[in-house]
Amino acid sequence: SPARRDLGSPRHTMAPSGRDFDVVIYGATGFTGEWVAREALLQASGASVALAGRSEAKLHALAQALAAELCLREPPAVLVADAEDAASLDKMCVRAKVVVSCVGPYRFWGEPVVSACVRGGADYIDISGEPEFIERIAVDYGKAAKEAGVLVVSACGFDSIPCDMGTLMAAQALRDAGGVPRSVEAYISMGTDDGRNVVGHYPTWQCAVMGVGAAGELRTLRRRAKKEGSLPPPAPVEGPKLKIHRGWHRVAALRPARWAFPFIGSDASIIRRTMGHLASTPEHAPPAFAPVQAAVYLTVSSRWYMWLFTFFGALFKFLAQRRWGRKLLLKYPSTFSNGAFSRAGPSKEDIEHTNLRIDFIAKGTGGGGKVHCALTGPEPGYALCSRVCAAAALTLADASERGGAVPEGGVVTAGVAFCRTALMKRCAARGVRFECLSKED
């Protein structure tokens, strides 16, 4: 029989005194939560991992299944907690060093968990890609989290660790080549190795629908944040302003060339916050840091996909801005996404055959004028998301790795939290790799 492993056993813990678990996965029985739980146990290497959620029966069933699948000596512990029961969240958070929230849409279920973590002294991360929620938490909890010494880091999945960390690493690659980085453009490409469609799960679609519907709330929030000074000021940058392409454009620098359009996710706003924070708080920045301008684009391989994306994107935007339209989008996800999202979600085979590539073009002045880097990995929404999220949680939980490299508290981006840690080495060990492909003077 396979050798049994001590992954996630409470007897093998690096949790500090008074904390029973290094990492608690809240929402572990959900579609994405199960992926994150599996990855956290795979990467645990002596850390204690517990599973949390509303249903004790489902949690025990998942714990037993993961223990059998991963050859654990004993199942991970389970904790019953509900976002609508503050007392249960408090009991969960006081036992955890890091809580990973996998329960979305976050605009509905995210804030109670953040609040409980701040009260209970547990660091918090999530996999949200919802700009309004992410920035609202920064505005409403930034001061309280800093005073409590609690680190709150949203968007620790596909949104936005690859683009946020990749932008910092591409700028560093240009710096290492002798240049002075001024801008980094990221180009996201997703595909499959056997021609099947890329498929997403309904909760992701739900988050996107509600996020676009909340665009007015986001604008109001940003005006409030600017007035209060509750978000980092824009980073000062030198040199000409980076041209942001508002429509489709052909990117000849990619091989083969692809068509690109501004990505509507949270990545661009996250990167701007990272640059502003590191510029205004240099003690959190990596050596020789200088802020860069950034842009994030989604790419497709042909004009046909470009027009298809344009049609469904315009229809989605039109409907998501209207209450009756949101009801239609949520009722018929497959129809209005051209099959890209469904209530059933992707199969295991769909995920295994899907891959991600993000090209980073960093430009500047000096000896190294331009570098081309790339981050590659598995399917982004669940496989890559779970790997980078688990790596982020375990990085925060490991005091020996964390040291003085991570801010002591506050609401920050992944780039701020992890730019001086070995997070990306953890990710590389799980198949999410960054490399420099070429450089030009």
Q: Which residue has the tokens 């669940």?
A: 382
List the chain pLDDT tens, one digit each, 441 residues: 344 444 433 333 455 447 999 999 999 999 999 999 999 999 998 999 999 999 999 999 999 999 999 999 999 999 999 999 999 999 999 999 999 999 999 999 999 999 999 999 999 999 999 999 999 999 999 999 999 999 999 999 999 999 999 999 999 999 999 999 999 999 999 998 887 778 899 989 999 999 898 889 999 999 999 999 999 899 988 888 999 999 999 999 998 999 999 998 899 999 999 999 999 999 999 988 999 999 999 999 999 999 999 999 999 999 999 999 999 999 999 999 999 999 988 999 999 999 999 999 999 987 668 999 999 999 999 999 999 999 999 999 997 777 778 999 999 999 999 999 999 999 999 999 999 998 887
The candidate with the shortest Cα–Cα distance to 134, out of 166, 107, 98, is 107
The candidate with the shortest Cα–Cα distance to 360, out of 251, 264, 265, is 251
Is residue 298 packed enough to be buried (19+ CB in 10 Å), middle (13-18) or exposed (0-12)?
A: buried
Q: What is the pTM of this model?
A: 0.93
Distance between first and last Cα of the chain: 57
pLDDT at 21: 97
* Count of positions (residues) in the chain: 441
Distance CA 59, CA 41 (A): 15
pLDDT at 29: 97
Q: What token pair was written down for 309?
A: 């994306």
The candidate with the shortest Cα–Cα distance to 426, out of 403, 406, 396, is 396
Q: Determine the number of helices (DSSP H) and then strands (DSSP E) in the chain.
A: 18, 16
pLDDT at 5: 46
Q: For the sheet containing 354-366, what is the strand order?
A: 249-251, 258-262, 293-300, 179-192, 354-366, 370-378, 433-440
The candidate with the shortest Cα–Cα distance to 26, out of 66, 73, 72, 82, is 82
Distance CA 48, CA 11 (A): 8
Is residue 102 classed as helix, strand or coil in its secondary structure?
coil
The DSSP letter of residue 283 is G
Is residue 86 packed enough to be buried (19+ CB in 10 Å), middle (13-18) or exposed (0-12)?
A: middle
| Cα atoms in the 13 Å half-sphere on the side-chain side of 349 | 4
